[in-house]
Amino acid sequence: MIEINKLNAWFDDNHVLKDVDIKVPKNGSFGLVGESGSGKSTVLRTITGLVDDWEGEILVNNKELGPKRDKAFYRLVQMVFQDPFGSLHPRHTIDRILTEPVNIHGLGDSDARVVQALEQVGLDNSFRFRYPHQLSGGQRQRVAIARALILEPKILLLDEPTSALDVSIQAEVLNLLSRLRRELGLTYIMVSHDLAVVAHMCDDIAIMNHGRIVERASATQLAEGTLEHPYSQQLYKAAGGYDRAVIDSFVDWD
């Protein structure tokens, strides 16, 4: 469904992605793990066209992407942002946030579509005419997911969709995402620094460091901690919780 070959990206003079290769099958779920600044979010942003300066090959549905994304692309690929407090327009009601993509793409019948999208993410109709500031973080993230789903995309890019939420809400949102993938036959690429989340959600994972994929593994490998690259092991240990001896042994891999 998505194939990325030798993707390189730059922020001014910073070389942030170096020869990234990713392949995600239809209905698959791919996890990108790494520490902050490793370039994992940049991969998603490059796919969606939010990064201008890139080179390489991105194939979606066997079609290569040019420098500009068209409307058809956005009907196929949607993204959920990390921060549900920043990704919803503070002056728009939930209804307007969800109606807008319907109108842009001229799908029609926005009333029914909005109600259906809210239903899909488990929000009832009473949320429809509220403003984002009247919702909790988990509810907002559900709205953000509903907005991504309302165009009926086949691919959902998830940029740390739960890292801004507290633990109990995280589980709810993750279960929601798993259910949606099953029911709607979606393909996911999920970015996270939380190894447990990725192990739970994804079939295949790639570990990134300094803009490079250092290791590929399966979810079971990640869950069992049988990773080979020293950076991956370091990341796995770091996920185990704070331990002075472990932290002191860390080195900067490049």
Partner 1 sequence: MTTQTNTSQTSQTGLKQWLTSDTPKSRWQAKCGRAWLGWIKFTENRLAMIGLSIVIGLILVTIFAPLLAPYDPLAADLANRIQPPSADHWFGTDQLGRDILSRLIYGAQYTLLIVGLVAITAAPLGLLVGTAAGYFGGWIDATLMRITDIFLAFPKLILALAFVSALGPGLENAILAIAITAWPPYARIARAETITVRKSDFIEAARLQGASNMGLIAGHIMPMCISSLVVRVTLDMAGMILIAAGLGFLGLGAQPPMPEWGAMVSDGRQFLLEQWWVATVPGIAIFIVSLGFNLLGDGLRDVLDPRGGD
Per CB under 8 A, residues contacting partner 1 are 48, 50, 71, 74-75, 78-79, 81-83, 86-93, 95, 100-101, 104-105, 125-126, 128-129, 131, 133-134, 144, 147, 151
Q: How far is the CB of 218 from partner 1 (least distance, A)?
A: 30
Measured from the CB atom, is 141 or 232 closer to partner 1? 141
Q: How far is the CB of 126 from partner 1 (least distance, A)?
A: 4
* Cα three-residue angle 199-204-207, rounded to 5 degrees: 80
Distance, in Å, from the CA atom of 100 to the CA atom of 78, rounded to the nearest integer, reads: 14
Measured from the CB atom, is 43 or 205 closer to partner 1? 43
Q: How far is the CB of 104 from partner 1 (least distance, A)?
A: 5
Distance, in Å, from the CA atom of 231 to the CA atom of 227, rounded to the nearest integer, reads: 9
Measured from the CB atom, is 123 or 217 closer to partner 1? 123
Measured from the CB atom, is 21 or 95 closer to partner 1? 95
Q: How far is the CB of 80 from partner 1 (least distance, A)?
A: 9
* Residue 60: DSSP 8-state: E
Measured from the CB atom, is 21 or 100 closer to partner 1? 100
Q: Give me 80's structure tokens.
A: 């959920």
- Residue 215, C-beta contacts closer than 8 angstroms, at least 6 positions apart: 206, 207, 227, 228, 229, 231, 232
Q: Which alpha helices (H) appear in the chain, and where do they start and end?
A: 40-48, 71-76, 94-104, 110-120, 137-149, 167-184, 195-201, 219-224, 230-239, 244-248
Distance, in Å, from the CA atom of 126 to the CA atom of 123, rounded to the nearest integer, reads: 8
* Residue 132: DSSP 8-state: G
Q: How far is the CB of 150 from partner 1 (least distance, A)?
A: 9
Q: How far is the CB of 215 from partner 1 (least distance, A)?
A: 30
Measured from the CB atom, is 48 or 233 closer to partner 1? 48
